[in-house]
A = this chain, B = another copy of it.
Amino acid sequence: MSESSDDAETTDEIMRATYRALFQHGYSATTISKIADEFDKSKSLIYYHYEDKEELLGAFLEYLLDQLESDLAASDGEDPKSHLLEVVDLLLPSELEDERFTFLRALLELRAQAPYHESYREQFERSDELVVSLLVDAIEWGIEEDVFRAVNSREVAEFVYSTAYGAIERGVTVDDPSVLHENRGYIESYLEATLFKYS
């Protein structure tokens, strides 16, 4: 095995350890030591790769976002409507697992720290652009295929993304998953009324 694939494996293990630490302790209480507790190898190996918590967490956000990117690329629905709903589903699933709900707490803590850490801010900017552009593409596909109304695709995409984000923010922080579930339904009603054509 080459040194670089060893390195990639170590990075992957550090990222999984970071996920487990964030999941258990939240962002504020997560330290490099707590990440090391979740990591099978030595703590010094973490410091060999990352200078401090900020650098590690910035890399972790990039890792998450790469995963989201490949999930989104894989969601290639057969028609515009099912494709669009798959993208919405990745954002705000109709059924949210407990584990993901708990993890979203840590992600919102990280996002709340973005004004103070450029490395976090860059990753959230990148993820916002990615999701909005995927929504725009899905909407434009439907307009071309004449199954969606000729709306302003960017406006609808931004609106759906903000609503989904707000629902996550509201529900996760007051520990009420029903907010996410209900808002998912409202987004579908909105798309039915605004976007979908029926012949």
Interface on A for B, CB 8 Å cutoff? 26-28, 105, 108-109, 111-116, 121, 124-125, 128, 155, 158-159, 161-170, 172-175, 179, 182-183, 186, 189-190, 193-194
Contacts and interface: CB of A to CB of B under 8 A. Distances in A.
Contacts of A183: 158-159, 162
A189 B162 CA distance: 15
DSSP class of A's interface residues: helix, strand, loop or mixed?
A: helix
Nearest to A116: B26
Contacts of A28: 28, 113, 116
B109 A112 contact: yes
B165 A169 contact: yes
A172 B115 contact: yes
Per assembly, the copies of the chain total: 2
Contacts of A158: 182-183, 186
A128 to B, nearest CB: 6
Nearest to A111: B173
Given A28-B116, A166-B166, A166-B168, 18 more contacts: A26-B116, A28-B28, A28-B113, A108-B112, A112-B173, A114-B173, A115-B172, A115-B175, A121-B173, A128-B174, A155-B186, A159-B190, A162-B162, A162-B166, A163-B163, A164-B166, A165-B165, A193-B194
A125 B174 contact: yes
Contacts of A186: 155, 158-159, 162
Contacts of A163: 159, 162-163, 166
A159 B186 CA distance: 7
Contacts of A116: 26, 28
A26 B115 CA distance: 9
Nearest to A156: B186
